[in-house]
Amino acid sequence: MAILNILTYPDVRLKNIAAPVTEFDDRLRIIIADLEETMRAGHGSVGIAAPQVGIFEQIVIIDVSAKPKIKQHGRLVLINPEITKWEGFKVGREGCMSVPDYTGNVIRAHSIQLVAQDEYGEQHEYEMDDYEARVVQHEVDHLDGMLFIDRLVSRRHDLFKRKVYK
């Protein structure tokens, strides 16, 4: 396993659209293992998407299990994820390993339905709310070449400088 280099804004490669995964093979599982190690090395990181390490394929890992008392599915590998339903909206603060110097207030759907494959190609359907739904929407955005800073209503009011990425 390896900790991979994270692309950071304004690297234009972060705007690339990720291609669907078609081969559920050992190569994919090595990418997943490296992505997970890279996510865990980013203190407090709850999600990572393959384009953040320059792999433009639809691979996401999330794990919000460190947050106590929230409804969630634990560690999830989401291959070719597709959000099929959005409900409600909520403003919340987001950070990103690709935007290490800032956090921002972003409007996301409160609840989503999601279809995704796992690392073996098996298809699953999920219903998610609140924080977990937010993390998934953030990570799926990476697959579409979008960062949270692209979704701020106002950069002046909703973007916050931070000194150290935590």
Q: How far apart are CA 160 and CA 151, in angstroms?
A: 14
- What is the CA angle 44-39-49, rounded to 5? 120
Return the number of the residue (116 or 147) whose C-beta is nearest Ni ion: 147
Number of residue whose CB is nearest Ni ion: 96
Q: In angstroms, what is the minimal distance from the CB of 47 to Ni ion?
A: 7
Binding footprint of Ni ion, residue count (CB under 5 A): 1
Q: In angstroms, what is the minimal distance from the CB of 23 to Ni ion?
A: 25
By CB under 5 A, the residues from 86 to 105 that bind Ni ion are 96
CB-based contact 70:131 (threshold 8 Å) = yes
- Cα 93 to Cα 30, 61, 77, distances in angstroms: 31, 20, 23
Return the number of the residue (25 or 67) whose C-beta is nearest Ni ion: 67
If one asks whether residue 35 binds Ni ion (CB under 5 A), the answer comes out as: no
CB-based contact 155:87 (threshold 8 Å) = no
Q: In angstroms, what is the minimal distance from the CB of 155 to Ni ion?
A: 17
Within a 10 A sphere around the Cβ of 150, how many other Cβ atoms? Answer: 14
The reply to whether 119 belongs to the active site is: no
Q: Which residue has the tokens 């997943």?
A: 32
* CA 112 to chain CA mean position, Å: 14
Choosing from 94, 119, 132, 139, which is the catalytic residue? 139
Q: In angstroms, what is the minimal distance from the CB of 113 to Ni ion?
A: 21
By CB under 5 A, the residues from 37 to 96 that bind Ni ion are 96
Instruction: Give me the active site residues, please.
Output: 139
Q: Which residues bind Ni ion (CB under 5 A)?
A: 96
